[in-house]
Amino acid sequence: MEINWEDFTKVEMRIGTILTAEIFEEVRNPAYKMTIDFGVYGVRKTSAQITKLYQSEELVGKQIVAVLNFPPKQIANMMSECLVLGGVEGEGKVILIEPERGVKNGTKIS
Pairing of strands 13-23, 32-37: antiparallel
Question: Which pLDDT score is estimated for 16?
Answer: 98
Band of the pLDDT at 92, cuts 50, 70, 90?
Answer: confident
Residue 102 lies in a domain: no
Residue 67 lies in a domain: yes
Between CA 110 and CA 103 the distance in angstroms is 14
**Model pLDDT for residues 30-77, shown as the tens digit of each residue:** 999 999 999 999 999 999 999 999 999 999 999 999 999 999 999 999
State which residues form the domain around 62: 5-96
- Burial of 39 (C-beta count, 10 Å sphere; 0-12/13-18/19+): middle
Partners of 93 in the β-ladder: 89
**Model pLDDT for residues 1-31, shown as the tens digit of each residue:** 899 999 999 999 999 999 999 999 999 999 9
CATH code of 14's domain: 2.40.50.140
Number of domains within the chain: 1
Q: Is the pLDDT of residue 104 over 90?
A: yes
Pick from 10, 11, 56: nearest CA to 35: 56
Band of the pLDDT at 90, cuts 50, 70, 90?
Answer: confident
Residue 70 lies in a domain: yes
Residue 107 lies in a domain: no
Pick from 81, 61, 78: nearest CA to 12: 81
